[in-house]
Structure 1
Amino acid sequence: MQSRTRRCKDLRARDTLVQRLIVDGYNVVHAWQSLKRLLTTASLEAARDELIRRLSVLGMVSGEEVTVVFDAHHSEAMSNSEEIVDGVRVVFTRKGHSADHSIERLAYRAGESGDVITVATSDRFQRDVVRGMGGAVISSLELERRVIDAEQEMSRRVRRYQ
C-alpha cells in the first residue's frame, strides 16, 4: 500500500505525464517495405538510419519521447550503447540480450514512473507482455501510418512558413 500511495503522490507532483513511444527496431525494419528495400539495396545501417530519421519527425510532431531498441547481435560494434540521434533515443542491447528484454525493462520503468507508454512491435508475445504491464501496443504497420501522417503534417507546417 505504501508504494501505491507514494506513486499517487508522485503523479500529482508532476505537471504532465510523459508520453513515451518505444520501438522494436528490427521488427519495424523487417515490416516496412521501404526499409526492407534498403536492406537489399543498401545496408542494415542505412535501414536503421532511415528508421531513426523518420521516427524523429514523428517525435517532433507528436511530442512523444521516442526510443528505438535494436538487438546488438546485428552490430557488435554498437553493443550496449545508447545515444540521442535527432531527438530519438537509440539503444543497442548488450551482447546476448534481446531487444524484447530491453523493451520490457524500459516499459516497466516508464510505467512505474507514471508515464504513458506505447510500444510499437508486431511480435505477438512482446505485445502480450507489454499489455500485461498496462502499456499500449501498436503494430509496426500502424507505426508506419503514424509516421506517414507526421511527415505529411511536418510538410504542411514547413509550407505554411515559407
Structure 2
Amino acid sequence: MATHLIIDGYNLLGAQSAAKSEMARESLLHDLAAYRHRKGHPLTVVFDGWQQGYPVEHREHRAGVQVVFSRRGEKADQVIQRLAREYGSACAVVSSDHEIMATARAHGATVMTAQLFLSKLAASGLSSGLIQGKELDSGEDERPRRGPDKKGNPRKLPKAVRERNRQLKRF
C-alpha cells in the first residue's frame, strides 16, 4: 500500500528559497504531480488560507494532487496536524516545522524535512527548474560521531537511523 504524503506547501516553497507567489506555487504543484505520477504515492499539499482565504476549507485536485487551502482563521499547520492524526502510520509528513513534526511522530507518521524531500524531488529529475542547480546539502553528517568508549562496528549506523533510512527509501 502506498504511503499518503502530506506536504506543508509554503514550508516547502520557503525551503526552495522561492517567493511565495502564485507562479512559484503552480510550479511546485507541477513538480509534485510529476513526482506522484512516477512514485504512485497519493499527495496532499496544504497551503495557508487563514488570513484571506475561503470561509470554509477549500479542496481541489490538480493533476492527481489534492490541494487544500485552510479556512479563514485556521493555519495550514492545524490542517496538517489533523490529517496526520487521521492517517496515522499510513502517512508521511513533509515539513520543517517542529510542532508539526512532533505531532506527526506522536501519531506514528513518518516525518521528512522539507530540505530532505527537495533533495529527493531533485534526485528524481522531475523538478521544473526552481530547485535544480541549488546546493541541497543540509550540512548534517549522516553518520553520528562515536566516542572512544563505544563498542561495535563504527561504520554501522544505529538501529533507529537504519530503520528511518529504510522508511525514507520508499520516497
TM-score (norm 2): 0.68
How far residue 124 of structure 1 moved from its aligned partner, in angstroms, is 1.1
Return 5+ residue gaps in structure 2 as ranges: 127-171
For residues 63 and 117 of structure 2, what CA distance do their matches in structure 1 show?
18
- The correspondence for 1:135, drawn from 83, 86, 109, is 109
Cα distance between partner residues in 2 of 1:137 and 1:130? 7
Say whether residues 1:147 and 2:121 are aligned partners: yes
Distance (whole Å) between structure 2 residues aligned to residue 87 and residue 151 of structure 1: 19
Percent same amino acid at aligned positions?
31
Equivalent in the alignment of 2:62: 85
Aligned to 2:22: 45
CA distance in 2, matches of 1:120, 1:78: 26
| Aligned residue among 29, 32, 39 for 2:13 | 29
Q: Which has the higher contact order (CA 8 A, sep 6+)?
A: 1
Task: Measure the CA separation in 2 of the matches of 1:149 and 1:116.
Answer: 24
TM-score by length of 1: 0.71
Runs of 4+ in 1 over 4 A off after TM superposition: none
Larger helix percent: 1
| 2:44 partner amino acid | T
- Aligned-pair RMSD on alpha carbons? 2.1
Counterparts of 2:10 and 2:51 in 1: how far apart (Å)? 9
Q: Which runs of 5+ in 1 are unaligned?
A: 1-16, 153-162
Distance in 1 (alpha carbons) for counterparts of 2:3 and 2:14: 25
